[in-house]
Amino acid sequence: GWPRSGGTRGRTAMDLFGDLRRMNKRQLYYQVLNFAMIVSSALMIWKGLIVVTGSESPIVVVLSGSMEPAFHRGDLLFLTNFHDDPIRAGEIVVFKVEGRDIPIVHRVIKVHEKGNGNIKFLTKGDNNEVDDRGLYKEGQNWLEKKDVVGRARGFLPYVGMVTIIMNDYPKFKYALLAVMGAYVLLKRES
C-alpha cells in the first residue's frame, strides 16, 4: 500500500471507526458479550469476597499517610469483619463515620467493654499527633462495632497507587477506561 501522508504517526480515530465498521456485527456482539462477562465475573468475585470476609469492602486502598510507617499511601489492604472477633487495642481497623464517604484506616488505642458485651473504642493514626475524636461525628467520642467496615488482615504495598492517581487526576481515569474499552472491543482473537 501507499505510505500515509504524515508518516506512521499512529492510528487515527477514522481508522478506528473504519475497523469497527469492517468488523461484522456478530464479532462486535461477541466482543460486547465478552466485555460483559469480564465485568460480571469481577462483580461475582467481589460479592464472593464480601460473603467470605464478612466485610462490605473486603479490599481498600490506603489514601493518606496517617498510618505510616505501618501502611503507606497506595497500599492495598485485605479486610475481614467477623462479628464474633473481639476488637482489641493495637488492632488496625477500617471504620466509617457519619457524614464522610471514605472509610478511615487507623489503629485502636483504647477499648471499653461493658458488662452487656457492648464495646466502645477509640482510634488514632500512627502518624497523627492526636486521636480521632476530631474525625468522628459531632458529639461522638467513641466508635462502636457497627462503625467498623473491617480489620486489616494483610496488605500489598503500593498496588493501589493506580486508584490514588485516578482519584487525584479524574482525566487519567477516563483515559484509562477508554483505552481498556477500546482494547476489549478491538482485540482480535488470535
Report, in this order, helix, strand and coil percent for the chain, each rounded to 5.
Answer: 35, 20, 45
C-alpha cell of residue 148: 467498623
Q: What is the pLDDT of residues 165-181, one digit of tens each?
A: 877 888 888 888 888 88
Q: What is the pLDDT of residues 46-104, one digit of tens each?
A: 999 999 999 888 989 998 899 999 999 999 999 999 878 888 999 999 999 988 888 99
Which domain range does residue 39 map to? 14-53
- In the set 66, 84, 147, 168, the catalytic residue is 66
- In the set 132, 147, 168, 190, the catalytic residue is 132
Q: How far apart are CA 99 and CA 138, in angstroms?
A: 10
Asked whether residue 92 falls in the same domain as residue 78, the answer is: yes
Phi, psi of 87, deg, nearest 5:
-85, 130
Asked whether residue 147 falls in the same domain as residue 78, the answer is: yes
**Residue 61 Cα distances to 30, 44, 78, 81, 188, angstroms:** 34, 20, 9, 16, 34
- In the set 55, 57, 106, 147, the catalytic residue is 106
112 is a catalytic site residue:
no
Q: Which one is predicted more confidently, 79 or 28?
A: 79
Phi, psi of 106, deg, nearest 5:
-140, 170
pLDDT band at 9 (very low <50, low <70, confident <90, very high): low
66 is a catalytic site residue:
yes
Find the DSSP H helices in 10-67: 13-22, 25-53
Q: How far apart are CA 42 and CA 44, in angstroms?
A: 5
Asked whether residue 125 falls in the same domain as residue 37, the answer is: no
40 is a catalytic site residue:
no
Number of compact structural domains in the chain:
3
pTM to 2 decimal places = 0.69
Buried b or exposed e, range 84-106, using 16+ CB within 10 angstroms:
eeebeeebbbbbbbeeeeebbbb
Q: Is residue 160's pLDDT more than 60?
A: yes
> Does residue 6 form part of some domain?
no
Asked whether residue 145 falls in the same domain as residue 76, the answer is: yes
Sign of the alpha-carbon torsion through 66, 71, 76, 77 = negative
Phi, psi of 89, deg, nearest 5:
-65, 140
